């Protein structure tokens, strides 16, 4: 089975801090994604990556950056955390190519910015 592991289930940080959320997948997937989940808004795509060192902005990239130095690892960075970034963050991965294969999700990181 595919395993997508997010480094923390719960995280509390202060405004202005630089925050790193880590995600690792063990199935050699080409594509990796970071989503933000908020009540009433569903999942919104922040960034995704389709290869090492490749990234594309999603729907809400402002205030975030990403890094993918190795195929299995995709990091989300909050450059200067703000209270409106308090949310659940989900990482996902999928194999590349046609036919839109299902995404596999991690357990999520519930991030609180105080």
Partner 1 sequence: AQTVTQSQPEMSVQEAETVTLSCTYDTSESNYYLFWYKQPPSRQMILVIRQEAYKQQNATENRFSVNFQKAAKSFSLKISDSQLGDTAMYFCAFGPNFGNEKLTFGTGTRLTIIP
User: Residue numbers of the site for partner 1 (CB under 8 A)?
Assistant: 31, 33, 35, 40-45, 48, 50, 56, 58, 90, 92, 94, 96, 98-103, 105-108
> Residue 40 Cβ, how far from partner 1 at the closest point, in Å?
6
> Residue 14 Cβ, how far from partner 1 at the closest point, in Å?
25
Give backbone dihedrals phi and psi of 83, rounded to 5 degrees, phi first: -60, -30
| Distance of alpha carbon 107 from alpha carbon 99, whole angstroms | 25
Nearer to partner 1, 79 or 107 (CB): 107
Q: Determine how β-strand 64-70 pairs with β-strand 54-57.
A: unpaired
């Amino acid at each position: 089975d595919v395993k997508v592991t997010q480094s923390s289930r719960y995280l509390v940080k202060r405004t202005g801090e630089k925050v790193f959320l880590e995600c690792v997948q063990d199935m050699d997937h080409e594509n990796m994604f970071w989503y933000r989940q908020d009540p009433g808004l569903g999942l919104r795509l922040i960034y995704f990556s389709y290869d090492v060192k490749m990234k594309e902005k999603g729907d809400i990239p402002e205030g975030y950056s990403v890094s993918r130095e190795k195929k299995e690892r995709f990091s989300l960075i909050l450059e200067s955390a703000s209270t409106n970034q308090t949310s659940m963050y989900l990482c996902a991965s999928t194999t590349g190519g046609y036919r839109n294969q299902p995404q596999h999700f991690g357990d999520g990181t519930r991030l609180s910015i105080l």
